[in-house]
């Protein structure tokens, strides 16, 4: 589903200065996880309360009716759904294979709604999945504000099971493949207002243009005592320069994100550039149905697209997240050799998705958080005596007695923390990185296959340049008197950094009537407001 203001070209007709490529957001987010893996409804209730305490991180309109969006990602409430299926005389051979798709169909009453259902059902059958029923989840549309209600999709759930001939290990991959195929066929039918929020046999996403306190009033399943989960990822969206839209509410399909990906255009372009060379024995010729890998409108959604693709192609979610958001390893002299080899090996496969970002993620088996290499977004955690790990973008989202706090801390730059729900393990940053580094002989692979190109020979000459010739060369390469006196001279004579203003009143090089240097035609893109200054001496590891 695309929101009605989305730009598919650099400028759209109704909003000529708007372009969906520049969408970013700054939000409140976090997760709760029962380390033992025991599912409960009380954890879901606590997560909803924690989300409500992040209301101030979002925005609302003047009438306090329209909101940027909120949501929660949990494990599938099997007890609730299996009981409903049993009432309809539908049995599932293995309850663990029950899959649920949360589908945002076109606005209620739309003529496309029936066609969307037909496409989804046919595609699921073509993918070899067993369709069970369409379920209408209990929803109270009256809690929505006027704007959100006018644009609200018809929300349905599609329930599936794994056919006996399909190996369970391939089940998650086939579900991902089916969803991507659905998206392609909807696009082929020129249907742009249908969106699959999640399609999985492990996790389920509830989200929308709601205030956090209204999420459980809207999705009534969330207050059902049978709705149990051992994890809950929650998110309150704040749109810094975007239009609120149902699909852009978070969590996405695997992650929730607070911050910005400043390198997003380069990341997307590089991903597109390598698509022609992609190959995998897991996908074979079906790989073409997964392209383009990145298709979302926001930076959070695009990162989620990349994470999904990697996770569905044979790597676990911790491995994928560390690939996409690696630590600053290049100048870290204390980094163990095995971990350095891991980072160097993967640096040759994919570039980092960089920027001030705190990320929480889950595939239903593992739930965790990661911080960008500069540590420019907060992520604080508490481990309770009851074995619950609470992590959020700020403290105080859950009220705790001091005696119940076993451990508390914060993620540092490039760090991760995770809970393995299958094995009941809390994994800290060092354990995660050591485990990843020892999975394969990365040091040996680099020694055998990495080729370092020789440094080009120096072409500098010690012969002094005549003053007249020097002035001609400066003119030729676009150096002005200001460049020499205010930039070069302080650097060369006093070893000082040039002092310059943040503003620039000179016209853009492409519009200037003066001859400009080649470098003037390029500008660095960065979040000037949200990025605090970095000390080049004390924080040189990330420079």
Nearest to 343 by CA among 324, 365, 369: 324
**Lowest-confidence region among 223-232, 323-332, 395-404, 511-520:** 511-520
Give pLDDT, residue 471.
85
Q: How far apart are CA 29 and CA 397, in angstroms?
A: 10
Nearest to 127 by CA among 296, 316, 317, 283: 283
- Whether residue 516 is predicted with pLDDT greater than 60 in this model: the reply is yes
Please check whether residue 506 is in contact with residue 297, taking contact to mean a CB–CB distance below 8 angstroms: no
- Whether residue 6 is predicted with pLDDT greater than 50 in this model: the reply is no
Please check whether residue 173 is in contact with residue 267, taking contact to mean a CB–CB distance below 8 angstroms: no
Q: Which has more pLDDT, 311 or 2?
A: 311
Pull the structure tokens for residue 320.
């994928």
Active site members: 27
Domain ranges (residues) in the chain: 20-448, 471-542
pTM for this prediction: 0.86
- Whether residue 539 is predicted with pLDDT greater than 80 in this model: the reply is no
Nearest to 309 by CA among 323, 295, 290: 290
Give pLDDT, residue 182.
98
Q: Which has more pLDDT, 529 or 271?
A: 271
Question: What's the average model confidence in pLDDT over 449-469?
Answer: 76
Predicted confidence band of residue 35 (pLDDT cuts 50, 70, 90): very high
Give pLDDT, residue 251.
97
Question: What's the average model confidence in pLDDT over 13-23?
Answer: 56
- Whether residue 459 is predicted with pLDDT greater than 60 in this model: the reply is no
- Whether residue 502 is predicted with pLDDT greater than 70 in this model: the reply is no
C-alpha Rg value of the chain to the nearest Å: 26
pLDDT digits (tens, 9 = 90+) for 361-404: 999 999 999 999 988 899 999 999 999 999 999 999 999 999 99
pLDDT digits (tens, 9 = 90+) for 102-128: 999 998 778 889 999 999 999 999 999
Please check whether residue 116 is in contact with residue 105, taking contact to mean a CB–CB distance below 8 angstroms: yes
- Whether residue 460 is predicted with pLDDT greater than 70 in this model: the reply is no
pLDDT digits (tens, 9 = 90+) for 57-108: 887 766 666 788 999 999 999 999 999 999 999 999 999 999 999 999 998 7
Measured CA distances, 506 to 193, 474, 516 (Å): 44, 19, 11
pLDDT digits (tens, 9 = 90+) for 258-302: 988 988 989 999 999 999 999 999 999 999 999 999 987 789 999
Give pLDDT, residue 46.
98
Q: Is the dihedral of CA 424, 428, 430, 434 positive or negative?
A: positive
Instruction: Output the CA angle 521-522-526, nearest 5 degrees.
Output: 150
Question: What's the average model confidence in pLDDT over 210-239?
Answer: 95
Q: How far apart are CA 144 and CA 150, in angstroms?
A: 9
DSSP annotation of 208:
E
Question: What's the average model confidence in pLDDT over 202-216?
Answer: 95
**Lowest-confidence region among 45-59, 173-187, 497-511:** 497-511
Give the start-end residues of each E strand in 26-114.
28-34, 70-75, 99-107
Question: What's the average model confidence in pLDDT over 484-509?
Answer: 79
Give the position of tokens 């970013």: 24
Give pLDDT, residue 239.
74
Level-2 CATH architecture, domain 20-448: 4-Layer Sandwich (3.60)
> Helices 317-324 and 429-437 meet at what angle, rounded to 10?
100
């Amino acid at each position: 589903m695309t929101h009605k203001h989305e730009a598919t070209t650099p400028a759209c007709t109704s909003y000529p200065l708007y372009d969906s490529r520049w969408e970013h957001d700054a939000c409140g987010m976090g997760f709760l996880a029962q380390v033992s893996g025991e599912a409960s409804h009380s954890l879901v209730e606590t997560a909803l309360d924690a989300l409500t305490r992040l209301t101030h991180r979002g925005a609302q309109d003047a009438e306090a009716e329209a909101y940027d969006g909120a949501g929660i990602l949990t494990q599938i409430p099997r007890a609730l759904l299996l009981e409903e299926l049993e009432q309809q005389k539908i049995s599932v051979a293995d309850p663990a294979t029950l899959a649920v798709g949360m589908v945002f169909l076109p606005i209620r009453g739309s003529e496309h709604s029936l066609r969307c259902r037909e496409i989804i059902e046919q595609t699921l059958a073509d993918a070899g999945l067993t369709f069970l029923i369409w379920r209408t989840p209990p929803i109270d549309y009256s809690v929505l504000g006027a704007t959100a209600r006018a644009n609200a999709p018809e929300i349905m759930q599609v329930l599936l099971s794994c056919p006996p001939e399909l190996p369970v290990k391939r089940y998650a991959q086939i579900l991902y493949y089916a969803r991507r195929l659905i998206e392609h066929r909807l696009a082929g039918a020129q249907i742009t207002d249908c969106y699959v929020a999640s399609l999985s046999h492990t996790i389920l996403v509830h989200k929308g243009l709601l205030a956090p306190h209204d999420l459980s009033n809207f999705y009534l399943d969330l207050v059902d005592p049978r709705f149990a989960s051992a994890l809950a990822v929650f998110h309150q969206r704040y749109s810094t320069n975007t239009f609120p839209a149902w699909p852009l509410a978070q969590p996405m399909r695997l992650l929730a994100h607070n911050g910005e990906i400043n390198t997003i255009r380069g990341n997307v372009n590089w991903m597109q550039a390598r698509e022609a060379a992609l190959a995998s024995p897991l996908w074979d010729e079906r790989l073409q149905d997964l392209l383009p890998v990145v298709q979302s409108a926001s930076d959070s959604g695009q990162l989620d697209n990349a994470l999904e693709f990697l996770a569905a192609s044979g790597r676990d979610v911790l491995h994928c997240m560390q690939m996409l958001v690696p630590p600053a390893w290049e100048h870290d002299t204390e980094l163990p050799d095995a971990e350095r080899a891991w980072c160097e090996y993967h640096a040759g496969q994919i570039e980092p998705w960089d920027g001030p970002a705190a990320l929480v993620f889950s595939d239903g088996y593992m739930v965790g958080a990661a911080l960008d290499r500069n540590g420019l977004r907060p992520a604080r955690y508490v481990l309770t005596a009851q074995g619950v790990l609470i992590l959020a973008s700020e403290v105080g989202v859950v009220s705790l007695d001091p005696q119940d706090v076993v451990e508390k801390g914060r993620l540092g730059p490039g760090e991760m923390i995770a809970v393995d729900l299958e094995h009941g393990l809390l994994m800290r940053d060092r354990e995660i990185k050591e485990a990843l580094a020892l999975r394969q002989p990365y040091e040996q692979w680099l020694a055998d296959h990495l080729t370092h190109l020789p440094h080009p020979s120096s072409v500098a000459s010690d012969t002094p340049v005549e003053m007249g010739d020097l002035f001609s060369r400066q003119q030729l390469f676009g150096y002005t008197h200001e460049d020499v006196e205010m930039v070069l001279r302080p650097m060369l004579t006093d070893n000082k950094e040039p002092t310059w203003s943040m503003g620039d009143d000179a016209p853009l090089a492409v519009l200037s009537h003066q001859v400009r240097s080649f470098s003037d035609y390029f500008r660095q893109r960065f979040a000037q407001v949200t990025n605090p200054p970095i000390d080049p001496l004390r924080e040189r590891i990330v420079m």
